[in-house]
Amino acid sequence: MISFDQIQLFNGLLYMDRVLFLLSAIIVLHFFLEWYFFIKKRKFIFDYWHYTCFFIIILPVCIMYPFAGSVINIISVGVAIYDIQDYVNMAYIISIIGYFCMLIGKSICGNKVRRNYNFLERELYKNFNSERYYNVINTINIIILIVLIVLCLRYPEYVFNFRLIRYSEPILGPVINAIVSFSTYSLLFLFFRAIKEKNKVSIFFLLLNIAIILLIGTRALIVQPILIIILIYLGLNRDSLKIVLKISIYVVLLIILNIIFDNFRKYLLGYDNIGLGFFIQFFYGNNMSDLRDFAWILTGFNDDFLWGKTYLSAILSFIPSSLLVFRETYSLGKVTNNFVGIEGEHLGLRGTIFAEPYLNFDIWGVAIVGIILGYWLQYTNNNFLKSMEMKKDIYEIYANLFMYKLFAGLLVQSGGFFISYIGIFMVLLGSFIRRIK
């Protein structure tokens, strides 16, 4: 293990290596300067490249670096923080190497754009404009809500956290997975519908979908489509700085509401110590814990490389893990729990986006995935910007992001790849429904 000169500041609130902290500061400065010059050149406030990199690298890795090893994390991981401290720098370096490789991939892609939409993108766009398609989505959501209400009466202890019911009732695991996966896409589609139609019916079904997600306990599913919509809105209304201020306020309120709901959910579930301040909750809780969790995984990893097993498990995710021992053993969540010794009702540790490539294929996997991811993200961004410059509607703009959102997750966090299968199914379902005479 590389030796680092660690320092603590502000009574242990910060714990870091001076050189890596300086590197982090340089990366953050470069990111915002490059973003500034992008705005000056293209007249866009935000694009998909900067949006994505901010939320997968800049915030969870660079900005969170000095907090990830702080002893204050004992509120979330207990005494394991003392082992985690020895691996934060390693987790940070691996993640930054991946980011540098993303920049290489971005450079290789340059300004390339597509000439034509592929089959899935074309069908998705047609689905968005189909009244029949939304009727089917709304009907499915009504059925899902009825199922969840029945489960609430039968298992009241899992209200607002039904994603954990798989541990006590394994047979319900695939059902909850299917609901979560369906809601991932239906919520975004219904958001688009509500924006386009602006009628009470579309808003009602959007709120119904939100209620489903709150009952399951996957709050991030609500945040993600809102951020995507904000990103598109900024692109289509990029001449007013007042919009930037308003959007910034909305994002901050969204983060605060997310933490408030998390505390409320924990209160209902009987957790203690839920009254932590916003600062402590954000920097030392589990909302931005990717880098800390990656370091935690490394404490029990011991270079026991998996050589693609978690990826294969994800590809086979259409088979319930109860029917396939391999999936039960090598799902990403199960693997990370085994490395750190977590037992019981826990879905696994996230790690940064380059944790899984490293666990499977060492630093070479990080480099290759980084280049591919950077190229693909830049290519997606080029098409995204082109659509907004041409003032396309919100449906067509989102279609440019669909393939990246479908398959990029397999490269960096394969645990949710079943969601991609559902996404493909929903597109094909709409294609079939539209063709029924």
Check if the beta carbon of residue 74 is closer than 8 Å to that of residue 5.
no
Q: What is the pLDDT of residues 11-34, one digit of tens each?
A: 778 889 999 999 999 999 999 999
Please report the pLDDT score of residue 374 as a whole number.
96
Residue 103 has pLDDT above 80, yes or no: yes
Asked if 312 and 327 count as a contact pair (C-beta separation under 8 A), the reply is no
Residue 378 has pLDDT above 90, yes or no: yes
pLDDT at residue 301 is higher than 50? yes
Contact between 295 and 84 under an 8 Å Cβ cutoff? The reply is yes
Domain extent for 28: 6-118+277-435
**What pLDDT is recorded for position 251?**
60
Q: For the chain, how big is the Rg over CA atoms in Å? A: 22
Task: Give the per-residue pLDDT at 135.
Answer: 92
> Residues 223-236: what's their mean pLDDT?
76
238 lies in some domain: no
Q: pTM for the whole thing?
A: 0.86
Evaluate whether 49 touches 377 at the Cβ level (below 8 Å).
yes
Q: Is the pLDDT of residue 253 over 80?
A: no
Q: How confident is the model at residue 358 (pLDDT cuts 50, 70, 90)?
A: very high
Mean pLDDT taken over the chain? 84
Tokens of 369: 């995935």
Percent helix, percent strand, percent coil in the chain, to nearest 5: 75, 0, 20
Q: Which of 39-43, 213-217, 244-248, 429-433 has the weakest average pLDDT?
A: 244-248
Q: Could you tell me the two tokens for 123?
A: 């069908």
Task: Render pLDDT for 260-287 as a digit per residue (tens, 0 to 9).
Answer: 555 555 555 454 454 455 677 778 877 7
Q: Residue 57 — φ and ψ, nearest 5°?
A: -130, -60
Average pLDDT over residues 381-402: 87
In a domain, 381, yes or no: yes
Q: Give the burial string for 357-390 (b: 16+ CB within 10 Å, else e).
A: bbbbbeeebbbbbbbbbbbbbbbbbbbbbebbee
pLDDT tier, 293 (very low <50, low <70, confident <90, very high otherwise): very high
244 pLDDT band, cuts 50/70/90, is low
Residue 279, burial from CB neighbour count under 10 angstroms (0-12, 13-18, 19+): exposed
* Structural domain contains residue 271: no
Determine, yes or no, domain membership for 129. Answer: no
Number of domains in the chain: 1
Answer whether residue 62 is part of any domain: yes
Contact assessment for residue 356 and residue 336, using Cβ atoms and an 8 Å cutoff: no
The pLDDT of residue 156 is 81
Largest CA distance in the chain: 71
Burial 2-11 (b: 16+ CB within 10 A, else e): eebeeeeeee
What per-residue confidence (pLDDT) applies to 100? 97
Check residue 58 and give its pLDDT.
Answer: 94
Q: Could you report the per-residue pLDDT of 177-218, keeping only the tens digit for each?
A: 888 888 889 988 998 888 888 888 888 998 899 888 888 877
Check whether 346 has a pLDDT greater than 80.
Answer: no
At 408 the pLDDT is 86
Q: What integer is the mean pLDDT of 54-62?
A: 93
Candidates 414, 364, 381; CA nearest to 101 is 364
Q: For residue 409, is pLDDT > 60? A: yes
